[in-house]
Structure 1
Amino acid sequence: MNDKITNTSNRRRRSRKDTCEDDDNGCKESGIEATDKQEGKKVKALEEIITSFVLLEEQEKSDQEEWAKTHQEEKILVEANHKKKTRAMLDYYSKLQGCYDSVDQSDVLRKRKSRAAAAAAVVTAESENSNRKGGGGAAGEPRRRLWVKNRSTAWWDQCNGADFPEDEFRKAFRMGKETFDMICNELSSVVAKENTMLRDAVPVRQRVAVCIWRLATGEPLRLVSKRFGLGISTCHKLVLEVCSAIRTVLMPKYVQWPDEESLRRKVKDEFESISGISSVLGSMYTTHIPIVAPKISVAAYYNKRHTERNQKTSYSITVQGVVDSKGVFTDVCIGWPGSMADDQVLEKSALYQRATGGLLKGVWIVGSCGYPLMDWVLVPYTQQHLTWTQHAFNEKIGEIQRVAKDAFGRLKGRWCCLQKRTEVKLQDLPVVLGACCVLHNICEIRKEEMDPVLGFELIDDEMVPEIGLRSNHKYYSTSSQVIIYNP
């Protein structure tokens, strides 16, 4: 009996044990299945994240390609508009020159007719005097000269005297007597005239003095006529003749680009000592000269910036100049209409042709923000939020740019005719402006001191270009220039 009870309890224990083992195995299997499900969810979530990253990269790449395509199309459109405007400006200029050429031809024909009439009158008068006997005075009395009005030359005779004070002479002509004599000697073979039966020729020194005094003071021809005892038309003619002679004879000698390696090295070293930036060959600036509203192509010469500043309609022509470290002009471009931006004037200059011909490789011409960044033109940073290094670089660029601005300030200070609207015709104005640049160089080279009273403060004439960047490579090389100079 006891054995039966014992066997029964043992069987019950074994059955319970088997049941617990089955339960443990079931729990283990369910835990493994739950773990597999969690890992599957993680893998799926990771795959979704990777897929989203791939889609974002593809979207960003497509956006960049679309932006690059749009930017390229806009760039092409801007360049096309720029070329179109430039072509239109050239057409305007050629049409203007054609009109002025026709006007000049008519003036030449009119002058020829007037000379022929004057010569006929002289011949008639001489024949009548020869036919008269005893009615015109004694035989030894000098013949009466025609077309001459008696005028006082006391002021010029005093200035031309050897005892005239040097300071007074310098104040009147912006240079010393030695420099004035040198200019007269250089121009004597070109401007000298012979005496005629109508009148005695104006001496060379008086011719040069009329021109220089007119340029220096900017006084109207009426006052020039009273100063020198000459007719108004004669003074006007003398100014143009002497200016043309200065531009023809003296400009090739005193306005020279530094082509020799020794001169280039000297200019580079001088600019590097000023700013710490290497390979700088010149400082460039463009100024505007006020003119009377032209009769042809008025819109081309309209100066919007001056009009807005002065609250008065203004017209001008441009003078672009490159100077060395001493403020001496090495290149000038004169006569383009005042509506053109600085970069447009640059593209029309001989300097630009020299650069496209590969003659400016390895050098910098420093300009203001009115010029575009190019392979050979170095300009300051113009964007906002500059780093301190970029601010320092702009300061160094400003020191070089100050050389050109000071040179133009002395140019306009010495030759006051550049400060106000002139009576000179538009087609003759480039000759007059070129003569002023040559005389400026002569005074600078010969160390002619300028009266501080004559100082002229330049008003900013910058015309911002439509395309401020012409070279991506040089944009990044400019950043390298930031660390080249030694502040």
Structure 2
Amino acid sequence: MAPLKKLKKAKRKLKDSSKCGNPSSAPKPPESQQADNDWWYSFWHKNSDSGPGVPLDEDEAFKFFFRVSKTTFEYICSIVRQDLVSRPPSGLINIEGRLLSVEKQVAIAMRRLASGEAQVSVGGAFGVGQSTVSQVTWRFIESMEERARHHLQWPEPERMEQIKSKFETIFGLPNCCGAIDATHIIMTLPAVESSHDWCDQESNYSMFLQVIVDQEMRFLDIVTGWPGSMTMSRLLKCSGFYKLCESGKRLNGPVKLSAEKAEIREFIVGDSAYPLLPWLMIPYVGKGLSASMAIFNEKHKTVNLLATRALSQLKAVWSILSKVMWRPDKHKLPSIILVCCLLHNIIIDSRDALHPNLMLSDHHDTGYNEQNCQQIDSSGQAMRDTLSRHLHWSMVETDCIGV
């Protein structure tokens, strides 16, 4: 099943990327003339008692409302400044009649994405109307989608070697490149657009987001725009990532040798919703597993949880993705999802710590039953057996050295 044609176009756009940048080296943005530069203190004064969890400390309060530190916020403003300044500011004024600064526009958009609140509520917190919130948020999304892509791209070989080294050092899995998972973004469609294509197995209208993460829960690859009615294995096979792997153009780096001198190629890990492939390792199932199989499953589960936690964190931090989106434009929704993923990576790249008051759920798809794919590739099975024996041998050797 394929998504709407416009959604395909949105998916293809995700493959584009820009040159890399460094948040810490971003130039300080100049002050704009005729701007509402006191927006933060006005906002903080107005919303400091909006809930029991609002911190008293200014910097902590800023991170509470906008999910990032002031330094990272300035970097994000530097990314979109050119677009937000160059476009005619039609209607972008506050209640005092002054033009909205770039900083206030970014704050409005990020608060909308972070809180998931209605546009009227977000506008009320900033002293602007609903239409202004809508216009500002979409301008921000368009600019981030175009200019921040370098924060989400498949690693170059040198960077991938660093990722694989971390996975082996921390989790014991040699030549592991990441973990894969997928989640449903729930939405409410107008009656005229309701379709079984978008109705998933839990009777929700939803859109899928598939991600691959590294050891720091940074997104390395995402796929979105496809209906939530698909299975996760079907979503994988419709993705460009799958096609690249199957054609030998991705996960094609240097092989490693196991303790038995067998080849271990590059791979990612996923749960039982995915097929067992030479480059995708899923856990063993059933009773009476051998010691080596049990060791593999334990290591596998630890790494696989990284993808689960990353999606849980994404939805908790950018709450617009965890609440039911009311009548979204299905052609714009992939862009909203992408920008939230970009912001997720910027937080990691900037070494920002999440605010401690932010509650993370145990799972990103609460209420959904686990899926199970029965496809087993013989080469993938041989690869998994090689890995399990290698891990068992490594553990036995470590125990012997310890004695």
Deviation at 1:353, TM superposition (A): 2.5
Partner Cα distance (1:94, 1:178) in 2 = 39
Distance 1:367 1:183, change over 3 A: same
Higher helix fraction: Structure 1 or Structure 2?
A: 1
Between the aligned partners of 2:89 and 2:231, the Cα distance in structure 1 is 49
Q: Distance in 2 between matches of 1:168 and 1:197?
A: 29
Task: State how far apart, in whole Å, the 1-side matches of 2:143 and 2:369 are.
Answer: 32
- Partner letter of residue 344 of structure 2? H
Over aligned residues, Cα RMSD in angstroms? 2.8
* Aligned residue in 1 for 2:400: none
- Alpha carbons of 1:364 and 1:198: their partners in 2 closer, same or farther (altered >3 Å)? closer
Distance verdict in 2 for CA 1:198–1:160, change over 3 Å: closer
Identity in percent: 27
Aligned to 2:123: 225
> Alpha-carbon deviation of 1:382?
2.2
- Per the alignment, residue 472 of structure 1 pairs with 378
**In structure 2, what is the equivalent of residue 447 of structure 1?**
351
**How far has the Cα of 1:316 moved from its partner?**
1.2
Q: Which amino acid aligns with 1:395?
A: E
Of 95, 101, 105, which aligns to 1:207? 105
Aligned residue number for residue 198 of structure 2: 301
- Partners of 1:322 and 1:329 within 8 A in 2: yes
Say which of 133, 145, 156 aligns to 1:259.
156
- Tell me by how many angstroms 1:465 deviates: 5.2
Say whether the 8 Å CA contact 1:277–1:484 is kept in structure 2: no
Counterpart CA distance in 1 for 2:133 and 2:217 is 31
Written as runs of structure 1 = structure 2, the 5 A alignment for 1:170-319 is 170-192=63-85, 193-194=87-88, 201-251=99-149, 253-260=150-157, 262-293=158-189, 295-296=192-193, 298-304=195-201, 307=202, 313-319=203-209
> Using a 3 Å threshold, how does the CA distance of structure 1 residues 442 and 462 change in structure 2: closer, same or farther?
farther
Q: Aligned equivalents of 2:164 and 2:37: distance in 1? A: 49
Q: Contact conserved, 1:153 with 1:227, CA < 8 A, in 2?
A: no
Q: Which amino acid aligns with 1:403?
A: L
Q: Matches of residues 310-389 of structure 1 in structure 2 within 5 Å?
A: 313-359=203-249, 360-361=251-252, 362-389=265-292
Contact (CA 8 Å) 1:188, 1:204: kept in 2 or not?
yes
The SS at the match of 1:451 is: coil
Q: CA deviation digits over 1:392-430, x for unaligned, max 9?
A: 211110011011112112211211111111233222111
1:61-72 mapped onto 2 (5 Å cutoff): none
Contact kept, 8 Å, 2:92 with 2:100, in 1: the verdict is: no
Cα distance in 1 between the residues matched to 2:218 and 2:292: 31
* Residues 321 and 472 of structure 1, relative CA distance in 2, 3 Å threshold: same
- Report the Cα offset of residue 95 of structure 1: 6.3
Distance between the aligned counterparts of 1:239 and 1:386, measured in 2?
A: 52
- Deviations, residues 176-213 of structure 1 (Å, cap 9, x unaligned): 11110111011101122345699764321111111100
Please report the TM-score for the alignment, with normalisation by the length of structure 1: 0.64
Residue identity in the other structure for 1:456: S
- Distance in 2 of aligned mates of 1:228 and 1:447: 28
Structure 2: how far apart are the matches of 1:335 and 1:159? 35
Mark the CA change 1:428 to 1:96 in structure 2 (over 3 Å): closer, same or farther: closer
Aligned-pair CA distance for 1:448: 1.3
Change (3 A) 1:155 1:94: closer
TM-score normalised according to structure 2 size: 0.76
CA separation of 1:466 and 1:284: change in aligned 2, threshold 3 A: closer
User: Is this contact kept in 1: 2:92–2:132, CA < 8 A?
Assistant: no
Q: 1:203 to 1:160 in 2, by over 3 A?
A: farther
CA apart distance, 1:259: 2.1
TM-aligned CA deviation for residue 468 of structure 1:
1.9
Aligned counterpart for 2:325 among listed residues 416, 422, 430: 422
| Counterpart in the other structure of 1:390 | 293
Q: Is contact 1:96-1:297 (8 Å) kept?
A: no
Separation in 2, partners of 1:392, 1:289: 34
CA distance in 2, matches of 1:160, 1:185: 22
Q: Does the 8 A contact of 1:156 with 1:227 survive in 2?
A: no
Segments of 5+ residues of structure 1 without an aligned counterpart are: 1-88, 101-151, 308-312
Among candidates 346, 361, 365, match of residue 456 of structure 1: 361
Aligned residue type for 2:67: R
2:114 and 2:170 map into 1 onto residues whose CA distance is 31
Deviation at 1:171, TM superposition (A): 0.7
| 1:166–1:176 contact (8 Å) kept in structure 2 | yes
Which residue is 1:76 aligned to? none
Question: Which residue matches 2:340?
Answer: 436
Which runs of 5 or more structure 2 residues have no equivalent in the other structure?
11-35, 46-56, 253-264, 396-403
Deviations 1:325-368 (A, max 9, x none): 01111111112111111111111222112213312223101111
Amino acid at match of 2:267: W
Residue of structure 1 in register with 2:50 after alignment: none
Q: Compute the displacement of 1:467 (Å).
A: 4.3
> CA 1:407–1:232 in 2, change beyond 3 Å: closer, same or farther?
same
What's the secondary structure of 2:155's corresponding residue?
coil
Q: How far does the alpha carbon of each residue in 1:237-294 deviate from its partner, in whole angstroms, 9 at most, with x for none?
A: 211221121111102x10121122x211111111112321211011111111111135
Counterpart code for 2:186: P
* Count of residue correspondences: 334
Which protein has the larger Cα radius of gyration, Structure 1 or Structure 2?
A: 1
1:314 maps to a residue whose letter is N
Q: Is the 8 A contact 2:180 2:270 kept in 1?
A: yes
Native 8 Å contact 1:96 1:296 kept in 2: no
Would the aligned equivalents of 2:236 and 2:242 in 1 still touch at CA under 8 Å? yes
